[in-house]
Amino acid sequence: MSGFSTARQKMVDGQVRPSDVTDAGIIDAMLTVPREAFVPQNQRALAYLDLDLDVSEGGPAKRFLIKPVVIAKMVQAADIKDTDNVLVVGCASGYLAALVAKLARQVTATECDPSLVAKARGVLGELGIENVTVKAAAVAAGDSANAPYDVIILNGATEIVPDGLYRQLREGGRLVGVFAMTQPQRATIVTRSHGDFGNRALFDAAIPVLPGLERPPAFVF
- Dump the DSSP string for 43-61: GGGGTTSSS-EE--TT-SS
- Residue 70 binned pLDDT confidence (cut-offs 50, 70, 90): very high
d(CA 201, CA 218): 26
Q: pTM score > 0.85 for this model?
A: yes
Domain ranges of the chain: 3-204
pLDDT at 216: 82
pLDDT digits (tens, 9 = 90+) for 92-149: 999 999 999 999 999 999 999 999 999 999 999 999 999 999 999 999 999 999 999 9
CATH superfamily of 3-204: Vaccinia Virus protein VP39 (3.40.50.150)
pLDDT over threshold 60, residue 205: yes
The set of residues, in sequence order, having a beta carbon less than 8 Å from that of 173 and lying 6+ positions away, is: 148, 149, 150, 151, 152, 191, 192
Q: Cβ distance 70 to 185 under 8 Å?
A: no
The set of residues, in sequence order, having a beta carbon less than 8 Å from that of 138 and lying 6+ positions away, is: 112, 212
d(CA 84, CA 43): 33
pLDDT at 2: 73
pLDDT at 82: 97
pLDDT digits (tens, 9 = 90+) for 24-61: 999 999 999 999 999 999 999 999 999 999 998 776 77
